[in-house]
Amino acid sequence: MISLSGKLNRDLERLYDRRRQEAYQRRDDRVRALYDAFPELKEFDREIRLLGLERLQADCRVYENITNPQHDREQPSPSTPDDERISLMDDSPERTFFRNTDPDKTEAQQKSEQAFHEAVARRDAFLRRHRIDPLYLEPDYMCAVCQDTGRVGNRWCACRNVAIQSFIPQYFPDPMSRYALFSNFNLNLFDAHVLSGKKDTGISPREIMSGYVNMATTYVSNFERLQDRNLFFSGAPGTGKTFLMQCIGNRLMEDGKTVMYVSSPTLFDMMARYKRQQLSFRADPEQLEEATMLYDALLSWDLLLIDDLGTEPLTQESFAQLLTVLDTRQNKHLATIIASNLTVRDLSRKYDQRIASRIAGNYLTCNFPPDDIRLRIKNLIEKTGKLDSVDRPFTSQEGLP
């Protein structure tokens, strides 16, 4: 059985290999199209390649003469008289070679170098005249920073985090919806009329949600600069909490941030499995590695999305585990967004006071209006048939209220 980290490394290696192959293929296709459109460019490149080879051969001949003085005396080069040779007594061959080539180049070197630069200048003028990208011979990398290797010097490239995000959902039981995008959030699904009742705020659900969407876009745009990045989405089922949470997560993933989305039952199961493996006298190495990797992600990734808090089985052990996650992330100044059908007041009754106090004190609470979007979508599908999939509840459609 391959461990989770092993699977990730294998998938990442294959991904970057494929990206590099595709980068060179795109380069080859581009060059082929340019050669078809501009036969002169093909001749320029052919000439430059030949002159480059001649230039290299001239340098190699000089180096061979310097490093082989006996051969040099027997077959002196016409372009390098004996009285102009540099003694090898005090210098290494490599130092003598580099000193001899700049600025004291041989006549053959100077001629080949001049011809090479003139050919490059003619091609560059041709590229400017026809407005051709001078980097047309370079591979078309998806990530120009790391050139599709995943590394920049001794550190990982930001694109690797995005790549990991594309694989992690395959191993998580709770993947985020690929349709959860701000562009798919349809405010027309929310009631435009002010709701009457004891929670009457004088603002319609549509206006409230418009404010939350604006807040969410500001949140992702200023993610690095925000000091208070913890959010608590509270509201009845079907009010858009999960969708808005995943919109934030997907956007930050596009920006290269590490984002983990888990439902509350999955969260507590992951923590319990990690603890069992830690306490086991004969822990399976691969299961321990996988549990450790997932648990470390809970405590170290840029954003943790916990959905449906309050639906998990409650034990004193689960209270302690949740406190560990919340406190660790708070101390590391990492962002956490929690969605729940419970209110902050309900949390103090369902959990112990410590958890309720942390969420009330460290999280900005967003109370979603009691407007069941799932039910509205179902009714609209039955009535108009304009929504082709319940899996895309917030996709913009004409004719919705």
Neighbouring-strand partners of residue 260: 304
Pick the residue with more confidence: 110 or 96? 110
For the residues 284-302, what does the mean pLDDT come to? 80
Quick check: 110 pLDDT over 60? yes
Sign of CA dihedral 23, 25, 28, 30: negative
The one-character DSSP state at 396 is -
Q: pLDDT-derived band of residue 87, with 50, 70 and 90 as boundaries?
A: very low
368: Cα within 13 Å, side-chain hemisphere = 26
CA 102, 106, 110, 112 dihedral sign is: negative
AA letter at 344: V
Average pLDDT over residues 220-231: 90
Position 111 scores a pLDDT of 85
Domains of the chain, each with CATH number or no CATH:
20-129 (no CATH), 172-384 (3.40.50.300)
User: What is the reported pLDDT for 88?
Assistant: 35
Q: What is the pLDDT of residues 122-172, one digit of tens each?
A: 999 999 999 999 999 999 999 999 999 988 988 888 888 778 766 766 666
Residue 101, number of CB atoms within 10 A of its CB: 17
The first and second tokens of residue 268, run together, are: 């507590």
Instruction: Indicate the angle between helix axes 158-171 and 241-254, nearest 10 degrees.
Output: 140
d(C-alpha 3, C-alpha 288), whole Å: 9
Q: How high is the pLDDT of residue 254?
A: 87
- The rounded Cα 132 to chain-centroid distance in angstroms is 30
How far is Cα 170 from Cα 246, in angstroms, rounded to an integer? 16
Burial class from Cβ neighbours inside 10 Å (0-12, 13-18, 19+) for residue 385 reads exposed
| Model pLDDT, residue 196 | 63
pLDDT at 283: 74
Mean confidence (pLDDT) of the chain: 80
What local confidence, expressed as pLDDT, does residue 100 receive? 42
Q: Can you give the pTM of this predicted structure?
A: 0.61
Contacts of 310 (CB under 8 A, 6+ apart): 264, 340, 341, 342, 346, 347, 350
For 256-266, write each residue's pLDDT tens digit: 888 889 999 98
Residue 73 in this model has a pLDDT that exceeds 80: no
Tens-digit pLDDT profile for residues 175-204: 788 899 999 998 888 888 876 654 556 788
Residue 280: pLDDT above 50?
A: yes
DSSP tally for the chain: helices H, then strands E: 14, 7
